[in-house]
Amino acid sequence: MSSRRRFLKLTAMSATLLGGGFQVVKAFGESFSAAKPGRPIVISTWDHGIPANAAAWEVLSKNGTALDAVEAGVRVPEADPNVRTVGYGGYPDREGKVTLDACIMDKDSNCGAVAFLQHIKHPISVARKVMEDTPHVMLVGQGAYEFALSKGFQKENLLTPASEKDWKNWLKESKYKPVINIENHDTIGMLALDANGDLAGACTTSGAAYKMHGRVGDSPIIGAGLFVDNEVGAATATGLGEAVIRMVGSHLVVELMRQGNSPENACKLAVERIIAKHKDVKDLQVGFIALNKQGEYGGYCIHKGFNFAVQDQSGKKLLDGKSKF
């Protein structure tokens, strides 16, 4: 047996014994690879991330792409009227209109976003169409709506009876005072690493409850609510969007990982920078989650009460994010 054939035979045996756990070898210009520990994996913000992750995992577990996984995943809360901060059933603005924001980003830094979109249940899928079918990154308002219709999306009433009732009760006093961890901070951001080692992310929300008509937060803004760098990792944010935008928060987290910080520590450092820029954070909540190229993940927030969901080959779990206060 030639040395080349002996090498390849031993390589195949090693891969079998290792159970496909590592990229084992590259020899004579050929490579043998399989899923590494830590991938595929999907993480997302808040407890509604559990069913969202399950939908994403259906894609990932069948060797689907991270991009397809995150779109499929966040569509779940977008369609759930009981998730009052995302998509259908989301809290309206102070004029009683449900306006939606979303963005998506892939392994090649392609990205798409929509903002101030009305009457369309799945803004994340419209954002993907913006990414794939236009020369632009973001469409907003009426233009985003008309684009969605041109792509076959259907006009729907997104204001459910429950949300309409809450809005009418709010109108009695019309006081805008966001309550942390409750009605205006439950954006779903999702990050995935697929079996090929590629990253993608998605973020979608109905925004702050009873916001001014036309207000847009961080969720559809690449670099603020979401950022993916396939060389390093990905991050997404939840909380008060204005604070995240000012720090370009998700991009900051990824750059901190590039400098060698773990996902959790990168999130922590970004949170601390936000705190340092605000005189009073008593009523301010911001949280980040991050996922690096090795499948390591973490989260961190200003105040306790933020959690995030994880699903990989070991199963699913809901974790409390560590907090500054």
| Catalytically annotated residues | 187
CB contact at 8 A, 271 and 301? yes
CB contact at 8 A, 267 and 292? no
CB-based contacts of 156-159 (< 8 A; 24+ apart in sequence): 156/88, 156/119, 156/120, 156/121, 157/119, 158/87, 158/88, 158/89, 158/90, 158/98, 158/100, 158/118, 158/119, 158/121, 159/92, 159/96, 159/97, 159/98
Sign of the alpha-carbon dihedral angle for 112, 114, 119, 124: positive
Distance in angstroms (rounded) separating the CA atoms of residues 298 and 263? 5
Distance in angstroms (rounded) separating the CA atoms of residues 174 and 94? 8
Distance in angstroms (rounded) separating the CA atoms of residues 123 and 105? 14
CB contact at 8 A, 265 and 140? no
SS3 (DSSP) at 241: helix
H-state helical runs in the chain: 3-17, 49-60, 66-78, 123-133, 141-150, 161-171, 241-247, 249-258, 263-276
Distance in angstroms (rounded) separating the CA atoms of residues 288 and 7? 46
